[in-house]
Amino acid sequence: MIVVFGLAGIGALLGGGRAHAATTTTTPTTPSASVGGTLAVDGHPVPGVRVTASQGSTEVGRAVSDQRGAWRIRVPGPGTYKLALDVSTLPSGVRAERPELAEYRVFGSFAQSAGFTLTSAQSKTSGGQSRLDQLLNLFVSGIRFGLIVGLCSVGLSLIYGTTGLVNFAHGELVTFGALIAWLMNTMSSGPRLPLVLATIIAMIAAGVLGAGLELGLWRPLVRRRSGASGRMLVSIGLALVLRYIYQVIFKGAPRSYREYAAPSPVKIGPLQSPVRDYVIMAICLVMLLVVGAMLRQTRLGTAIRAVSDERDLSSASGINVAGVTLVVWISGAMLAALGGVMLGVGSQGVQWNMGFRLLLTMFAAIVLGGLGNPYGAMAGGLVVGVASQVGTYWLPSDLQFAIALVILILVLLVRPQGILGVRERIG
Amino acid sequence: MDWTGILSDGLRAGLGINAAVYALAAVGLNVQFGYAGLWNFGQAGFLLVGGYGTAIAVNSWGLWLPWAVLVGVAASILLGLLLGIPTLRLRGDYLAIVTIAAAEILRIVVNSTKVQSVTGGPQGIGGFANWFFDHNPIARGRYGFGTITYDQRQLWVTLVTWALVALASVLIAMLVHSPWGRVVRAIREDEDAVRSLGKNVYSYKMQALLIGGAIGGIAGIMLVFDQQFIQPDLFESAITFYAFAALILGGTARIFGPILGAIAFWFLVEGADSFLGHAVDHNFLGVGHLIDPTQVGTFRFVLVGLVIMLLVIFRPQGFLGSRQEVMLGEQ
């Protein structure tokens, strides 16, 4: 089951401020009052669903969701409306958790969003599964999510370890990979390559981006003796710039890849997942094992761990710290890009802010595992992934992400250095 | 191109309620980050509990609004305690990550359908600040100069918020020039040195976190008073980043830094928005070919991001800060 929030009220924060600006000025670009959203189930858009808005018993507007699941209704102005989703227009096997939002408030002349939660029959609410089976299935999807989180956050952790930068723009590297792969694979005017090839191109592009960022931004900043906190703020600015450029180019709605979009689940014992999901898990696991082995076995890996442990001493003992940092940026960005594609292939879909939404989960993973420790990122990712998925067995799935963060805070209380962290690291 | 229109759009926002709310949030951050060196990345969470505390106290418990405001402030102080107890003994990065995580948890939880009967879920709560607007002493009409005018309702909430900004700033000025302020600033520079002088560093940090958090809670209350409405989307983590941007723009560890920064930030944001809107309409410098009218709002964020980056890179001390005192500049 996937909760889908409407995407139209992007930046509702600054948008909230706009409400007043719009009433006092007549900026021609300001849209009139409207409410809209995106309907999707398990990451796939649901077209052809009718939504109506009414005040009292009078209908004031209606819309039908388009190919991307998006719908938007223009309403006369601020006020309270009843939004209703026509359940008879839903595809079979899909149902709405709450088909009616009885008192939806429109509070200004701008585009607002409303979310309807759709559930598919294949989700955990499906009948016929015993409780144990449901838990098992959630556990497996938690492992899959955790492996993806681990893959995405190894780079974040290594970058922190080698440079001391808490990189708030790491989520945008994840999105970058998924979007480049989408351009190469799905966009109608693009080359429409097979996804495997598109993923490889996306990883190479992300590697180039990572190298560019290190050489063009971070290295000069370190040379200017900019502190760790200053660089953290620069990464926040960079994340904003990249994220909203993605939104300009790719618009708001989630998309899926041309291939592997809607596979049918295969039953193996009590487990019910499409083969695709097992392939995703295998790819992530293999990549993580390869990274782990490289860190342990190769000279480069030893150098990375040395720089991560003690930068100055490594430099003094002849390790090319600048080179190691560059390698870390390139490989971290490539892993993040691969993780992004894996996330996009799975239930989430490809979206301009998918990496940003994952950012706090990645932070949770690396803090949980021990800041700066790449194995910790993997372990932390698994813990966060499994906990957030299995937790939805007892709690509503819109709290899924909160569960991961609560676990993070709880672990920090008992073991501030993280699961695999070294005590001295917390300083 | 209507340059005066663009300028007055910017100025109206720079003096308006949003700038005042951000100034208040940034004054709180200034205590925590500017003076005490605490990385509170969850200021949005303090605004949220302040706003929701007040709204729920009126809506569910039927409290008189002034008491409800106290509930909101108490809630943000409580949040500060909950966050500070586990993290203030750890290195700064941990406070940053835990606070931002807590702010997100709060936003997700109030959005959840489980608590919809109390928080209104995604639909939020409205109409709880009637008492505040019923006591508006300003007669009906439009007030202002030139094209920058506000109606009596906007003017009332804006004036009250700016007055709170002034009050908070005076209090902070007195605090930081007292022995307390010297200890807190010394902690920012070297914790161990202060500890060796027998000061309880943990307790001082906690006090700074709570004072800043309470001011953040008041900012949240004024934000939702203005809207007469509260909903989870108002408290995206972006609010923290923008408050930080405003603070750094003005200059950290300066009394007027956050105020000047918030005015400049909103002048830039709305001015840029207005400029882009006009530029697209008149196809100024060929902008109309590049940007779709519907994307103006999005481009504004790109601009904000760029300004944050350039500022921290080229002028980390902001307008008013001194290079020596700003920790951003040091290695």
Q: Is residue B200 part of a domain?
A: yes
- DSSP annotation of A259: S
Task: List pLDDT tens digits, range A82-109.
Answer: 888 887 778 777 777 777 777 776 766 5
CATH of the domain at B254: 1.10.3470
What sections of chain B are H helices per DSSP? 3-15, 17-29, 43-59, 65-87, 92-111, 116-119, 130-134, 152-176, 179-189, 191-196, 201-227, 238-250, 257-282, 287-290, 296-314
Could you say which of A114, A232, A360 has the minimum Cβ distance to residue B104?
A360
Asked if A413 has any chain B CB less than 8 Å from its own CB, the reply is yes
- Domain holding B9, by residue range, is 3-133+150-330
Contacts of A279 (CB under 8 A, 6+ apart): none
Query: What pLDDT is recorded for position A21?
Result: 35
Give the pair of three-digit tokens for residue A377.
């990122």
- On the question of pLDDT at A399 being above 90, the answer is no
Domain ranges of chain A: 47-118, 130-263+271-414
Distances (CA, A) of A202 to A179, A209, A257, B287: 8, 10, 13, 30
Unique residue bearing structure tokens 């029959």: A121
Nearest to B9 by CA among B307, B297, B268: B268
Q: Are A400 and A357 in contact (CB under 8 A)?
A: no
Q: Are A7 and A253 in contact (CB under 8 A)?
A: yes
* HSE-up (13 A, CA, CB side) for residue B140: 0
Could you say which of B274, B293, B309 has the minimum Cβ distance to residue A234?
B309
For residue A235, give the chain B residue with the closest CA: B309
Q: Is residue B143 part of a domain?
A: no
Contact yes or no for A426 and B94 at CB 8 A: yes
Total count of domains within chain B: 1
- Length of chain B as a residue count: 331
Contact yes or no for B97 and A408 at CB 8 A: yes
β-pairing verdict for A58-64 and A100-106: unpaired
Contact yes or no for B300 and A224 at CB 8 A: no
Query: What pLDDT is recorded for position A422?
Result: 64
Confidence of residue A423 (pLDDT cuts 50, 70, 90): low
Helix axes B238-250 and B17-29, enclosed angle (nearest 10): 80
Question: CA A177, CA A181: separation in Å to the nearest integer?
Answer: 6
Contact yes or no for A244 and B305 at CB 8 A: yes
CA B331 to chain centre: 27
Confidence of residue A128 (pLDDT cuts 50, 70, 90): low
**Candidates B327, B328, B330, partner chain A, best to mutate (most A CBs within 10 A):** B328
| Mean pLDDT, rounded, of chain A | 81
- On the question of pLDDT at A197 being above 60, the answer is yes
How many angstroms separate the first and last alpha carbons of chain B? 45
Backbone φ, ψ for residue B129 (5° rounding): -105, 25
Q: Which residues of A touch B92 (CB under 8 A)?
A: 229
Contact yes or no for A398 and B112 at CB 8 A: yes
Asked if A99 has any chain B CB less than 8 Å from its own CB, the reply is no
Question: CA A8, CA A36: separation in Å to the nearest integer?
Answer: 6
β-pairing verdict for A34-38 and A111-113: parallel
Burial of B160 (0-12, 13-18, 19+ CB in 10 A): middle
Mapped onto helix, strand or coil, the DSSP state of residue B113 is helix
Question: CA B228, CA B75: separation in Å to the nearest integer?
Answer: 19
| Mean pLDDT, rounded, of chain B | 89
Higher pLDDT, B232 or A55: B232
- On the question of pLDDT at A63 being above 60, the answer is yes
Query: What pLDDT is recorded for position A122?
Result: 54
Q: Which residues of B touch A19 (CB under 8 A)?
A: 227
CATH number of A130-263+271-414: 1.10.3470
Contact yes or no for B331 and A230 at CB 8 A: no
